[in-house]
Each structure stands twice: as C-alpha cells, then as structure tokens.
Chain A
Amino acid sequence: MRFSPGLSASLAVLLSVLLPACEWMPGRPRKADEVVAPTAVMDFSKLFTQNCVGCHGAGGNISGSFALDDPTYLAVVPEEKLRAVITGGVPGSLMPPFSIAHGGMLTDDQITVLVQGISAWKPPAANSSALPPYSAPPGQAAAGAQVYETYLASLRKMAGDAMFADGFLANRAFLGLTSDQYLRTLILIGRPELGIPNFERAIPGQPLSNEQIADMVAWLISQRKNEFGQPLVPVPQ
C-alpha cells in the first residue's frame, strides 16, 4: 500500500501553515478594532463624527448648522456653555440633548472628551477680550431694524441673491425654530463657509458693535409671530 499523496499533502500543508501562523497573520484581530459598547467610546474624532457632523460642520465639512471649528465661535464661547449645550441641548430648538440623563446616549465623560476636543480647535492666537461677549441681553428693536437693513444689504452684495429670497434671518418660520442665543451666535460668527462673514467683516470697514448686534437680535425676536418653540399661527392665504 502506497502512502496516499492526499494525506501527505494535507500533512505538509498543515505543518507549513500552523507553524508560522503567528502574530503577523492578517486575520489576527487587533485590539484597536474591538467593538466596544457605545458608552465606552472615548475617541474624540469618533464621538464627533458619530454625534455632531450630521448637523455641524468641521474640518472642511459643511452642514445645516454652524461649523464647530469656527475660529470666531471658539474665541468667544465659554467652555461651560459648550458643556451645558451638549449635555442638555437647547430646549425648544433643533439642538438635541446628548447626556443620558437628558435622554441622549453619551456619558458625562464622553461629553468631557467632546468639550475638550472642540476647545482644542481654538486658534492659539485668539484674543477674546477684543471681541463682543458671547452672550448679552437683547437691545433696542427699533434701532436693530435699521442695522439689520444695512447688514442685509451688505451681505446681499457679498453672497448673491439665492440665500435672501425668503427674508434671511427675518423669516418667521426660521425665527420660530431658532433660539435667541443662536441668532446672536449666527450674527457674531456668520457662516464663513457659506459666504456670510462674521460681525467684523459683514459690513466692510464697520465691525458691528456689541450694541448693534444686541439691537438686531432684539428686532429679529420682535419679528417672531409666536413664542419660540410654540406653534406658528397659520397665516391666512
């Protein structure tokens, strides 16, 4: 009886593969690829791309809401504010709460990772004392109307007509979806990625003052036909 070629072949293959089948093989699972429970993800860029990029731009991506790496924004926003907004959202607005206590999916530690990661995007040279404060009470609506007109006319020249057909910030449905602070934030930082400059360059040569911004916000608030977050009264056609 001859020793079967099949058997010897399989033995040879077995030995030759088993012996060197060590750590370098491509099939070896790597610790870094381990799927961890969602609450155990602690990597900033993972957390950011899983939770924020759908609505906020960053790193060249643009999205419906402002870019979280906007230098003007990072220069003015206090870190506690970032944490508070991520934790509890902006009630009544489209910014959802993320902490588990508020019905979201992130732990407090994960929120800390996000706050620190976003703050780390702040340009080192930023000097926030020269900028208007992040928040301020609304000013005079009547004065704001005038400023807004100049503001709008200037933006129209810079960004073309398409964005202004429905009233821009003064659109009533938009105002019904937007918190007072976000109105201020938007005027402060603009949307540079969409061609809307920040408060400094919106009107060439005349940076908006803190007072002007507060007045504009007051006027915009007066244009809301509803309480923010409440149903808009249907307008008879």
Chain B
Amino acid sequence: MIGIFRNVCLWVDDRLHVSKLFAATAGHHVPKSSGSWFYVLGSATLLCFMIQLVTGTLLAFVYVPSASQSYETLMYLSYEQPLGWFLRGLHYWGSNFMVGIMFLHMTQVFLFGAYKYPREITWISGCILMLLTLGLAFTGQVMRFDEDAYWGTGIGAAIAGRVPFLGAQLVQLMLGGPIINSDTLSRFFTLHVFILPGSVLALISLHLRMVLTKGINEYPKPGHIVRRETYDQEYAAIIKKEGVPFFPKAISKDLVAASIVIFSILFCAAVFGPKMPNGPADPTQIVTVPRPDFYFLWIFAVAALLPVYTETFLLLAGGPVIILILFALPFVNNTGEKSWRRRPVAVITVILIYVVLGILTYLGNASPWSPEMGAWTSATTEKSRVIGRSPLELQGLVLLQNKQCRNCHAIDGVGGHRGPDLMNIGTRLTESQLIRQIIQGGGNMPAYGNKLLPYEVEALTAYLVSLRPEGQPPARDSSVPAVPPKEQSHTSLPPKPHGES
C-alpha cells in the first residue's frame, strides 16, 4: 500500500517536477543577512495583492458594472448583504496598504542599492508593477462610480484630451465615447478586473523569477563596492558561505510581517470601514468638490497649485519624465557603493520626496484652493460681526453671501479658504482699497466691476469697514490727512430731507 502511494507520488513528481520546483523556489538559498526586517516589504506587498484578488473576486459576485446598477449594488453590499460592508472594507484597506507598502518596499530597495548590477530588470519590472498598482488603485476608485469617480474620470479625460494630435482619440478610448457613460464604467471594470491584475500576475512572475536567478540583495556593508567584474563571484561566495534556504529559515520574519499586515487590514476594515460613495454620479451636481483617494491627492494638489499656463505641459510631460528617471536609474547608477550610509544624495532624495509628497497630500486633503460651493447659503456669522450694524451694513453682509464671496472668504474661519479671512479686514484696507479690490479683483479673485451695482459696492464696503476689533479705528489712507473717525466712518449717502426728490 505504502509502496503504491510512494510510486504515485514519485510519478507525479517526475512529471510535474514539484520537488525541483520547490528546491528552486522556496528552498533556494539566500544570504543570511537578507533575513532582516527591511526585507519583508516585498512579500508584504505580494500578500496585499493576494488579499485584493480574493476580496475582489468575492465583490465581483455582487457588483454590477453598469452606470445604472453599480451604485445600487454597492448600497446592497454595504447595507444588506451580511458582512458585505466588511468585504468592501477589506478591499478598500487592502488597496491602501498595498500602495503604501509598495512604496516602502521601493524606498528600501533604493536605499539598499538593490537596483544596481545585476538586478536592473528586477528594478524595472518593479517600476512597471508600481505603475500597474497605481492603475489598479485609480480604476478601483472609479468602480464606486460616485461623484468623486465621475469627476476624477472627467479630469483624467481632460488631461488625456490635451495630448497633442491624439487627444480626442485617447478620450474616446478611455471613456468609450466623448462623455462619461455606461461604457466608461465597463472599460474601467475590464481594466480593473482583467487587464491590470493579469498584467500584475505576469510581471510578478518575472519579478520573482529575477529575484530567484539574480538572488536577493545581500545586506549592504558600507565601503563594499559593487564592481561588474567581481560582483557575481562575490555573491556566489556569500551564498556558499552563509546561504540559508529561504524556506523554512529566512521566511519566519516574512510570516510575522504577513500577520501584522493581515491584522492591520482586518482592523482598519472593522474600525474605519469601507469608503462610502459620496452620492450617485450626477453631471448636473456642481456643489461637490471632487477629491481622489489618498494616493492621488498629491497629483490633485499639484494640478490645483500649478499656474494655469504650466499645467498642460507639466501634467503631460511630468509623468513620462518621472517614469524615465525611474527606468534609467539602474543604468545611470549601475555600480559602486550600496549602503545608504555612504550615499547621502540618495538619503536626501528620499527625504525630499517623502516631505514633498507629504505636504502635497496634506494640501490635497485640505484643498484650501477650492471654493466652498455651499458656503454662501450655509456659512454662519459670529454674533459680534452682526450686532450693532446698520441696515445698510447688514445688507452688506447679506451681499457677501448673495454674491458668493463667502465661498472663497471665511469670516472667523467659517466659509471658503481660497481668499483671506475677512474677519479684521476693516483694519487692513481702507474704503477705497476695498472698493478697488472688489471692482478689479486680482490675485485669484474675480473682478466684480460689472457684476455689482454701485449701491451694492457701497453696502459691501460699509460692512467690510465695520469688520474690526472693538475700539479699533478703520484703516486709513496715509496719503490723506487724518479725519476724526466719526466723520470718516459713514461714507454712505446720508438721507436727504424729505420732499427733495
């Protein structure tokens, strides 16, 4: 009996080469020094991808990629299907973790010089994986097909539309028509569940194949220089001297890391939940300020902060340039020092990139540049900015709402933040400066010259002059002699005695 079993096993092994495969993969020898906590990030990214495959497949059982039904199926998953919300949460947090850990992995590879000779293709395949992962993240947020997705896709299309010569065709290809419609969603769905994951799988096998053939980077020692002529022998010597089989020796830290990642994703999904759609996509809805998921906030910030005339150029050229730099890196910097302790430029680059991305993400999240569309009807005003005002000044406050100034200007922090807070504007600008600012605009403020009637300007100015701390006189034009504040303060037309028409 045992003999038969053994023979069957040997037959299967002989035909499928299982044990050879095992020896060549999980059992292959890696430098002992690579059993470091810094080396778990790659396998953790892979793990996230696996989680995405499983949770994504489960979601696809319910989700219908059609403009009319996707929103309903998401609602069904979130509210009706038992634990449907949890599944959505896992997929959402899985993607956040995948993007985050992937960038950490890239940073570690960069700082440890692992992209240098002979691992150029490992690095390049990793860069392509990064692009594919970002593609998955972008198409994934479109699956929510809510306001954010609608506008995000629209902005993506607007960028594509600016590509010289091919713009219109690219938009057609991306949206399946000149505008966002049901075909758009089908296209993004196909990308999200077939094309991109398939490409990721193909590239992962290449990436891992390279890891196996060219070996895992040894933990770099400061002063140990990579030379094309000698590196291969040196690496072989390291493996021979202190190589350990990946499984079961080097893998233990990866497993601990895996459990931390799994736990974190479960935790975030359970505690923070999935990202809920922010209302069904509706092209007539102009109040929402669309905002991408966090990994694209920095692009959102860059696009918003750039001066308009640089926008097209930078948006179109910026991406390819960054990709080119990434791809060229292992060839430009092929040999030499690997340890980050001897590569200050590399360390400074990393710090700079993280700081810049951090600030841009923060700005993208706060997006102070977007007017707050609903502020004009909803922003309240502190009592002290209303009490004691004349009817004219109060109409000035109403005008500040009615003309939507509040969408850009806060008073005491309430309202939009595109322009300065007007809380003490009366101490900063004189009446004529205020009138000039309102009529001529300038510095990102539209000119209201032909949109306001003269007495509207008068009411606005009267109210703005009254915005100052108690007891503080209004701002004064230093080129004219001082007038007692009492006379200066009422510039509005005094009532004429009745009878005079």
Contacts and interface: CB of A to CB of B under 8 A. Distances in A.
A52 interface: yes
B395 A168 contact: no
B270 interface: yes
B281 to A, nearest CB: 10
A80 interface: no
A216 B359 CA distance: 60
Contacts of B393: 166
B454 A231 contact: yes
Interface string A49-60: 111111100000
Given A10-B262, A38-B287, A64-B401, A4 B493 contact: no
Interface in A213-228: 219, 222-223, 226
B63 to A, nearest CB: 16
Nearest to A49: B378
Interface residues on A, range: 35 or more
B377 interface: yes
A141 to B, nearest CB: 7
Interface in A10-30: 10, 13-14, 17-18, 21-22, 25-29
Nearest to A3: B248
A223 B496 contact: yes
A92 B280 CA distance: 35
A138 interface: no
Contacts of B255: 4-7, 10
Contact of A177 (B375, B395, B401, B489): B395
Interface stretch (B350-358, B384-392, B417-425): B384-392
Given A14-B266, A63-B397, A9 B390 contact: no
B83 A22 contact: yes
Given A27-B269, A51-B378, A13 B262 contact: yes
Interface string B77-114: 01100010110010000000000000000000000000
Contact of B390 (A21, A27, A171): A171
Contacts of B270: 17, 21, 25-27
A22 B269 CA distance: 12
A166 B256 contact: no
Interface string A169-193: 1111110111000000010000000
A177 B498 contact: no
Contacts of B498: 141-142, 145, 219, 222-223
Contacts of A163: 388-391
Contacts of B248: 1-2, 4
B449 interface: no
A36 to B, nearest CB: 6
A170 B397 CA distance: 18
Interface stretch (B122-130, B294-302, B455-463): B455-463
Contacts of A17: 263, 266-267, 270
Nearest to B263: A13
A34 B398 contact: no
B459 A173 contact: yes
Contacts of A52: 377
Given A25-B86, A28-B273, A174 B79 contact: no
Interface string B351-382: 00000000000000000000000111111110
A29 B381 contact: no
A96 interface: yes
Interface in A95-141: 96, 105, 141
A206 interface: no
B388 A18 contact: no
B395 A174 contact: yes
Tell which of A25, A96, A141 has the most Cβ of chain B within 10 Å: A25
B79 A29 contact: yes
B323 to A, nearest CB: 35
Interface string B266-286: 111111111011111010010
Given A6-B254, A26-B273, A164 B381 contact: no
A54 B273 CA distance: 33
A51 to B, nearest CB: 5
B251 interface: yes
B383 interface: yes
A160 B136 CA distance: 66
Contact of B492 (A4, A33, A164, A167): A167
B67 interface: no
Contact of B274 (A29, A222, A226): A29
B6 interface: no
A50 B374 CA distance: 7
B258 interface: yes
Contact of A6 (B258, B280, B387, B494): B258
B137 interface: no
Tell which of B83, B252, B259, B274 has the most Cβ of chain A within 10 Å: B259
Tell which of B257, B389, B395 has the most Cβ of chain A within 10 Å: B395
A54 B258 contact: no
Nearest to B415: A54
A173 B492 contact: yes
A65 B389 CA distance: 12
A153 interface: no
B495 A171 contact: yes
Contacts of B374: 50
Contact of A171 (B86, B287, B375, B392): B392
A160 B390 CA distance: 11
Given A13-B266, A27-B274, A170-B495, A165 B490 contact: yes
A50 B372 CA distance: 12
Interface of B: 75, 78-79, 83, 85-86, 89, 146, 248, 251-259, 262-263, 266-274, 276-280, 282, 285, 287, 374-381, 383, 386-402, 406, 453-456, 458-459, 462, 489-490, 492-496, 498, 501
13 contacts: A6-B258, A9-B256, A21-B269, A28-B85, A34-B276, A54-B375, A55-B401, A63-B398, A64-B400, A65-B398, A145-B498, A165-B489, A170-B495
Interface of A: 1-2, 4-7, 9-10, 13-14, 17-18, 21-22, 25-29, 31, 33-38, 49-55, 61-65, 94, 96, 105, 141-142, 145, 160, 162-174, 176-178, 186, 194-195, 219, 222-223, 226, 231-232, 234-235
What 4 A-B pairs have minimum CB-CB distances, sorted nearest first? A6-B255, A27-B273, A10-B259, A64-B397
Given A163-B391, A168-B391, 8 more contacts: A6-B254, A9-B256, A36-B279, A54-B380, A62-B386, A105-B287, A165-B489, A172-B493
